[in-house]
Structure 1
Amino acid sequence: MAELPDSLSATETYCIEALLEAKQFDEINGTQRAFFEQGGLEESNTLLVAETGNGKTFCAEAVVKRALERGQTVGYLVPSVQLTNGKYSSLNKWIDTDRYTLTNATWGDEAGYQYADVIVATFDSHFEAAIRGVDSRIDVLVYDDFHELYSGFRGPTIEKSLAMAMDRDIEICAMSATIGNPDEIAQWLDAELIISPEDRGVPIVERPLEKSGNKTYGEFIADHMAKRADEAPFMIFNFTTDHTRSRAVQIASHSDFKRPETDYREKIENAIDTTLTDTHQDLIKCLEQGVGFHYSALEDDIKQIVEKGVKNGEIQAISCTTTLAYGFDSPVQAVIVADLTRFGNFVGRWEYIQWIGRAGRDSEMEEAYAYPIYSREDAADVFQFDTPVEEKSLESIGSHFGHPKGLDSNADYTTNLESAKTNLEWLLIELVQNGWDSVDALVEFVSSTLYGHYALRDRLTLGENPMIGGEAQGGRDEIADRVRDVLTELVENGFIEMVSNSMLATTDLGTAAFEYDHATRIDCPPVAIKSLVETLEATAPTDPETIVAELAEMFYQCNLGETVTDDESPEFLELLERHDLGTDEGGVTAGVMCWLWAEGIDVELIQLTLDIDVSHVSRTGSQLAEAIRPLAELYTATSHTPPQWLETMARQMDAGVTAEDLHLTSYQGIARGRVIILDDRIRNAWQKFGEGTDTIDLSHPTIKKLAVQYENSVRFEQRLVSNAEGIGSQTAPTVVQAIEDWIGGDTTVPARPPFTASGREFLEAFGGKKQTRTDGSDSTTAIERGQTSIGSEPRPTSLDDF
């Protein structure tokens, strides 16, 4: 039996002992003892600060256990959806689901907040539920990875979520790695600060590397790995996706890791919905050498393959962006930070510490290693290279909504000033939309944010102005002035209106902007949404290409980031100009995504024809789908009704097939790649033998051609589908079922987006010949002008195949 603090109540002792038994632990460690001794299980707010690997999770789950014993409802919040899965699994191992309901929440008001006893959710999910008033049952909130409050990405939502929790008088239990100003944050939360007395489970040894000489970063890193092979696995953090990929390729070509037993080519081919792009080919070559790369634009299934390879030890070096800086536990022993700067400025020390903290998360390791690569002399001072990792001083966490005038200008606070005004604009719109209908109510809520805390505290400390209600009047005046200034702009821009002398309300534009922003989660200022609404108003009836071009200009996630020159494809530029699309990135994105991707054109041919990087096309399609689906919300702020084809267009962007072929992709196991394979087989046969041409021609959607072939072919499934590369006997019956349902009328053809051109028209205008690879080899074959359906290269075919 573990020895527990004597100060615990009988209920607290029972909760800890029951949890120890469920998790098969024999004792508690120093962090856990400090947490329990200092009142971590009492009904009050707590902030636990402890190094990685010191048992914070057990403390958090003990809080959950204690709350359940008291009949309370708990929200367990983590940064990402991926982490909710792991946390749900962890809690599900010991929570008695016969007595309690455990849910894994998603965004929206049907996320379990209204009925579950324990809700595992993201920070975003909680704020979404809170702002809409559907979290009223929650008594306790656990904030895991609380140090994400630093982040400009998730930090604003965490700050809002915490302010909302305090506004609702919900108990807060925050679990954090080391932060720069724990005393101030605890004061803001009115929380008991508990700092672990224990060092990091696996100490990190920092060894800075000066970059000199003419070697590329990839070669430089590969040389270092060769000298320190016993410190594998390695994780390399990079700023850009281009660096992430190119450095991985260089490392793979210069390293001598053990070759994995897994057939990564087969895994990648099975995971994608398209033919292999250059990015996929590079990744396969890297993985076959025990090296991987990982960034957000890669397909989710591809990222999971890479992550699994790192976790099982086959991949000995993973080159990544900061997408793996949070919540990725793996046997990495050494972290190499290749880029210490971002846009010419050093990253924050808190970010650097977070990155190198990915090393040594395996408790079996004796020590881990951090290798920051630097070329500027001042890096040593900025990152305190002469100070042990555990003793480095971190920046203080600032607010994401502003930097109060009284805050010590010499103090090292994170400020996020470039986005603070936008964050406050959205917060005021969110509040007014959901019932905070007066200036006083807005000021009161903003005062509960970290920005408000600093403003009130510092004016109080400075002794400025008389106190009112225990608060510094000067600080409250500053908050009120700032709220009024931002509110005035929102009124002028038409998002909010005064419905009486004292009552505020959102306009149609404000409501539309709120709903669209919460449906997409694509960051932009409110005025950008207004610009999009104005475009929808001015261009009605709007064509699909205009929508995509506008979204590409507004959101970098919806932009391919590619241009086409006269030397590469003058015909494509001519087509863009003919349809009044610009030849900039927005116009190119619109042309590629509407005329080629959404028509099921093979991405390899897109790449070869236009000479653009197509590795992000699938991801861009998914982002465009997310941005297009809720456009109906924005039409409520116009004088027009939304086009009936919006949802179809979103589905096409997501799936990369024609409107009719969405019927095929609606069946499990049939995605874009398999639609192209099926189209290839029919095209090859019809071009050689003329089948089907009396009924329909090759320009028709794949499902229509399949239906004709099905009705006119003997042993259709065996001859055309089962032996098709990439389909096989397991998926073939599903394909046949989809065709039979189509023929039987068991489908509804969706409203087709009126694209102004198509890939077929582009090829007609293209002219000449283009060389394309066959099956990833170096051999080539000509693509003739006027070819009407595009897929992988023709294979030898006979009538017997069909």
Structure 2
Amino acid sequence: MDDLPDVAWDVLRKAGYNGFFPHQKDAIKRLLSNPDKNFLIRAPTGAGKTLIVSTAIEQHLRNGGGAIYAVPSRKLRKDKVKELAGMLSEGTEISLVGDGNGSKWDSDVVVGTFEGIYRAILSNKGLLTKYSLVVLDDFHTLYEDRRGYELEKLITLLKLSGVRIIALSATIEPVASIADWLDSEVIFTPDEVRPVEIEKNVLVMNTDDAIDWLATNFSSFNPVIVFNYTKLYTESRAKKLAEKLKPLFDVEEVKSVFREKKRDELDEDEEELAYVMSKGVAWHHSEVPDYIKDVIEEWFNEGKLKAIFATTTLAHGINSPTKTVVIMDMYRRWDLIPVHEWLQMASRAGRVGFSEEGAVYTIVRKESDAELVELKYHTGIIEPCESKLGDGDFYRKALLELIYKGLNTSKDIVEFMSNTYYYSQGNNEPTLLETQYGNGMVHDLRANMGLLYENGYIIPSGKGYALTEFGKAVMDFLWRSNIDVPLDEITQMRSVLRGRKEVSNAEALYITIYCISGLRLGINPPKDKVGALIEKVSSFFGGRRVGEAEVITYIILKDWIEGRDLDLMKNDYGKGVYYLRNRAKTIAEALKLFETVAKIEGVRLPRDFKVFIKRVYYGVTAYELPLVELRFFGRKIVHSIYVTLANVPATSKYVEKDEHIGITLKRLLDEVGEARFREIVGSWRIRHLGPKRMGALIKWLRNFDSSTDSARLGINLEDFGYAMGEDLSRWLD
């Protein structure tokens, strides 16, 4: 069969394709005939790069090696495992790794994120004794801030380890410079050989006209992905299109699937999305819960959904049967979107194996922008990629990570940094500190290590450096957390706490939001709700101006942890409160950091602080907390039980004096017995508290020990003597 090795044809047959395209044959020949060389494969999206690299993985496995396959996001891991399983030999063990999921690192092929794999290897360099081939998919992620930073560190570590690297990218420049950094050969496939050609169009019309145009042409355009600048645009435009379409299936079918995934009642926002999906349309962005995203993507691939309105969350790495892509916004505020980003969105259309044709439409509001689209995007001249280590915060975090994981000598640090893309790019301007490692690097290292020392993160130790107690606490937090907090903001938190003897729960929550800007909600409620409180909070911080965002976020969180219904909160604060569910989990993580910093500074916290963190996480009162942690019991169901208990004569007398809901329910169960308990609680008609959940509740109560459970939770009634508003007033007044 031509002059390709048998391994290539074995992979092809397993994948179910009839043959290779010419560009695939050329790439496979080079990969398989040079099994020890690094390669950068630059080919358009849809050109079958995964099939190409699978032949190299299969060859590597047959020679006794193992392979790592790295992707940008956790969401893409499962898709890639499934895709590889359809190409590699039967019996090949493929596992997910990284991100603390506890999966096996002894499989034939492991799939993880750039960040997860970097952290695993940095913690245990011995992993690379088995895995001597690493594939880096969506290599153009190097353009992104956080993910690009993680990818650069991973590559640097791989270079020092001497493993083979194969990088796959559709849009990366400058190819020659990046290949030089990777010490790789380049396999370049022109855009013209893309198996499914994309028709490029630009239309001049306003948003409403664009939605009308989509509705009119819907049957010929779908499946379609519509990319939007903001989450708000994503949702509002999806709703507008849905209103112009006929239902495809019963909305109750969608709601039923959502409830099964959520294990709780639906909020108004989720019911609204269910209605839109019944019309064959959905919205998709970072704040949509993962269990709903899974349904949306599954239904889109199955053909149930015909259109997805998305932010750039769907622009990378997802294989779908998309025929048409519509790009609604060519500006990010006042800046044009980068060419590489436009190409990533456009390339979702016309995927091999899913669609035989593809088209992309860019919507603009004026003729001059139409000309700009054709000149800038249709020509496809990609901007050069720059290292993200030029950001001082990223640079200093990289240094802390090295010290944290034992690469703490000057030699270790210089060796690592000298192999980064940052210094490969030529960031070696002459200084007075010339060394064998480059002219500018020693200056950078001295400046950044000096800042880390001054701010209390590191101290000199023997031949190298060590983390202080504060530095270790920060790294413990950053290492286990999914949030990226700038070091300057953590330093500010420590500064605010320094010299204080104690803080309340309210203070802890507000200071955390005040110091860590990424935790704030972008919501604008009526001014009369926040004005006076802003003035008080400003006085606490020495008269400095305090922004509204952190105060508004605090007020909304107060409602959240008191168990207030999100649909009611929407009336006061706007639709953005639905994003609170995800943000609250992040804030709870940040409060754990606050707890550690307070301990280091000798600041006393309330005895119930750990309980308070859980309340922020779940959005419930202390009374409701134990039950909301029970599987199948979500915030809405638990709050409905609480409200009922407080209003039913037989139990209301206990609600105020019982420490939490478990004690009240246990008391009722013991008094009336299981049969009567089922009858009484069933008569409350709490939605979705059916036989399955009722059985789980009774089983939990049967095993419930009020004394040990109260001790485990750390609950003390005296610690709950102040409501959040009163607690805040104590330190504001």
Please classify the TM superposition score into its range, dividing by the shorter chain length. Answer: 0.7 to 0.9
SS at the partner of 2:426?
Answer: helix
Aligned-pair CA distance for 1:720: 1.4
Give the distance between the partners of 2:466 and 2:69, measured in 1 at CA.
Answer: 33
One-letter amino acid of the structure 2 residue matched with residue 758 of structure 1: A
CA deviation after TM superposition for structure 1 residue 155, in Å: 0.6
Partner of 2:201: 207
CA separation in 1, counterparts of 2:405 and 2:109?
25
SS in structure 1 of the partner of residue 319 of structure 2 = coil
1:311 aligns with 2:301: yes
Match of 1:705 in 2: 664
2:723 pairs with 749, 758, 762, which one? 758
CA-to-partner distance for each residue in 1:410-455, whole Å, 9 max, x for gaps?
xxxxxxxxxx222112112222333343445433322211121121
What residue is the counterpart of 1:15 in the other structure? 7
> Is it true that 1:732 corresponds to 2:687 in the alignment?
no
The equivalent residue for 1:716 is 677
After superposition, give the CA deviation of every residue in 1:615-668 in whole Å (9 maximum; x if it has no partner): 122122122233234555545643458776454333332322334534323332
Q: For the residues of structure 1 that align with 2:477 and 2:551, how far apart are their CA atoms?
A: 23
Change (3 A) 1:543 1:273: farther
- 1:91–1:75 distance in 2 versus 1, CA, 3 Å: same
**Inter-CA distance 280–364: structure 2 relative to 1 (3 Å threshold):** closer
1:350 offset after TM fit, Å? 0.4
Instruction: Report Cα offsets for 1:206-259 as digits up to 9, x if no partner.
Output: 1112235xxxx2453333442464112222212221222222222223x23553
One-letter identity of the residue aligned with 1:171 = R
Moved more, 752-761 or 728-737: 752-761
Which has more helix, going by share of residues? 2
Match status 1:493 vs 2:493: no
Moved more, 180-189 or 627-636: 627-636
Report the more deviating stretch, 336-345 or 309-318: 309-318
Q: Deviations over 1:526-581 (max 9, x none)?
A: 121112233344445332222322332344552233355464589x9599979979
Using the TM superposition, give the Cα deviation of residue 272 of structure 1 relative to its aligned residue in structure 2, in angstroms: 4.5
The one-letter code matched in structure 1 to 2:355 is M
Retained in 2: the 8 A contact 1:433–1:506? Answer: yes
Indicate how the Cα distance of structure 1 residues 614 and 503 shifts in structure 2: closer, same or farther if over 3 A, else same.
Answer: closer
The 2-side partners of 1:640 and 1:760 are apart by: 22
**Is 2:344 the partner of 1:354?**
yes
State the Cα distance separating 1:473 from its structure 2 match.
7.1
Q: Is the 8 A contact 1:126 1:161 kept in 2?
A: yes
What is the CA deviation profile of residues 246-276 of structure 1, one whole-angstrom value per residue up to 9, with x for unaligned ones? 22222223x2355334622443455547765
Q: Secondary structure at the match of 2:111?
A: strand
1:5 paired with 2:17, answer: no
For residues 294 and 665 of structure 1, the distance between their equivalents in structure 2, rounded to whole angstroms, comes to 27
Could you say what secondary structure the match of 2:650 adopts? coil
- Structure-1 residue corresponding to 2:559: 596
Deviation at 1:199, TM superposition (A): 1.7
CA distance in 2, matches of 1:381, 1:191: 38
* Alpha-carbon distance between aligned partners in 1 of 2:468 and 2:596, rounded to the nearest angstrom: 13
Q: TM-score, normalised by structure 2?
A: 0.87
TM superposition shift of 1:172: 0.6
> Which deviates more from structure 2 when the two are superposed, residues 372-381 or residues 288-297?
372-381
Code of the residue aligned with 1:124 in structure 2: it is: E
Residue 619 of structure 1: aligned partner: 582
Displacement of 1:124 after TM fit? Answer: 0.6
Q: Distance in 2 between matches of 1:194 and 1:88?
A: 24
Length-normalised TM-score, structure 1: 0.80
The equivalent of 2:731 in structure 1 is none
130, 134, 141: which is aligned to 1:148? 141
What letter matches 1:671 in structure 2? G
Q: Which amino acid aligns with 2:443?
A: D
Q: Do the aligned residues in 2 keep the contact of 1:107 with 1:125 (CA within 8 Å)? A: yes
Moved more, 49-58 or 133-142: 133-142
Contact 1:664 1:738 in 2 (8 A): no
Q: Distance in 2 between matches of 1:192 and 1:574?
A: 59
Report sequence identity in percent. 23
Report SS of the residue matched to 1:358: coil
CA contact (8 A) 2:128 2:163 kept: no
Letter aligned with residue 570 of structure 2: Q
Matches within 5 A, 1:611-690: 613-631=576-594, 633-635=596-598, 637-639=600-602, 645-684=608-647, 686=648, 690=649
1:191 to partner: Cα distance: 0.8
Q: Structure 2 counterpart of 1:724, which letter?
A: I
Find the residue that maps to 1:330 and give its secondary structure: coil
* Equivalent position of 2:317 in the other structure: 327
**CA pair 636-696 structure 1, distance change in 2 beyond 3 A:** closer
The DSSP-based 3-state class of the residue aligned with 1:616 is helix
Give the match's secondary structure for 2:171: coil
- 2:69·2:109 contact (CA, 8 Å) conserved in 1? yes
Structure 2 residues not aligned, in runs of 5+? 728-733
Q: Does 1:68 align with 2:55?
A: no
Distance 1:129 1:556 in 2: 29
The partner residue of 2:414 within 431, 438, 443 is: 443
CA pair 538-238 structure 1, distance change in 2 beyond 3 A: farther
- Residue 90 of structure 1 is matched in structure 2 by 83
Does the CA-based 8 Å contact 1:275-1:602 persist in structure 2? Answer: no
State the AA in 1 paired with 2:198: I
- Partner SS, residue 691 of structure 1: helix
SS of the residue 1:259 aligns to: coil
- What is aligned with 1:534? 495
Partner of 1:793: none
C-alpha contact (below 8 Å) 1:31/1:55 kept by paired residues: no
* Aligned position for 2:730: none
Report how far residue 289 of structure 1 moved.
2.7
1:663–1:738 CA contact under 8 A, matched in 2 = no
Alignment of 1:135-174 (within 5 A): 135-137=127-129, 138-174=131-167
Aligned to 1:780: none
Which residue identity does 1:521 align to in structure 2?
N
CA distance in 1, matches of 2:163, 2:604: 42
Q: 1:370 and 1:95, CA in 2 relative to 1: closer, same or farther beyond 3 A?
A: closer
Q: After TM superposition, give the deviation of residue 104 of structure 1 in Å.
A: 0.9
Cα deviation, residue 42, structure 1: 0.8
Aligned pair in 2 of structure 1 residues 496, 97: CA closer, same or farther (>3 Å)?
Answer: farther
* Aligned twin of 2:570: 607
C-alpha RMSD over aligned residues: 3.6
Higher relative contact order (CA 8 A, sep 6+): 2
Contact between 1:277 and 1:604, CA under 8 Å: does it hold in 2?
A: yes
Deviation at 1:363, TM superposition (A): 3.5
Q: Which moved more, 1:255-264 or 1:752-761?
A: 752-761
SS at match of 1:455: coil
Tell me, which stretches of 5 or more residues in structure 1 are unaligned? Answer: 7-12, 403-419, 466-471, 763-802
Report if the CA contact (8 A) 1:105-1:121 is conserved. Answer: yes
Q: CA offset at residue 163 of structure 1?
A: 0.7
2:21 is aligned, of 29, 54, 66, to 29
Taking the TM superposition and a 5 Å limit, the aligned residue runs for 1:194-273 are 194-196=187-189, 199-211=193-205, 217-227=207-217, 229-253=219-243, 255-261=244-250, 263-272=253-262
Distance 1:376 1:556 in 2: 36
1:574–1:200 distance in 2 versus 1, CA, 3 Å: closer
Provide the secondary structure at the position in 1 that maps to 2:425. helix
Matches within 5 A, 1:333-482: 333-361=323-351, 363-375=353-365, 379-380=369-370, 383=373, 385-386=374-375, 389=378, 391-402=379-390, 420-455=391-426, 476-482=438-444
SS of structure 2 residue aligned to 1:706: helix
- In structure 2, which of residues 461, 478, 499 is the aligned counterpart of residue 517 of structure 1? 478
* Equivalent pairs, count: 711
Question: What is residue 31 of structure 2 aligned with on the other side?
Answer: 39
Q: In the aligned structure 1, how far is the partner of 2:210 from the partner of 2:101?
A: 51
Q: What SS does the corresponding residue of 1:668 show, helix, strand or coil?
A: coil
Residue 17 of structure 1 deviates from its aligned partner by 3.8
- 1:237·1:337 contact (CA, 8 Å) conserved in 2? yes
Instruction: State the distance in 2 between where 1:535 and 1:381 align.
Output: 52
Q: Aligned partners of 1:101 and 1:317: how far apart in 2?
A: 35
SS at match of 1:541: coil
SS of 1:328 mapped into structure 2: coil
Q: Please tell me whether residue 558 in structure 1 is matched to residue 482 in structure 2.
A: no
Q: Judging changes above 3 Å, is the alpha-carbon distance between structure 1 residues 362 and 286 closer, same or farther for their aligned structure 2 residues?
A: farther
Give the match for residue 769 of structure 1.
none
Amino acid at match of 2:119: E
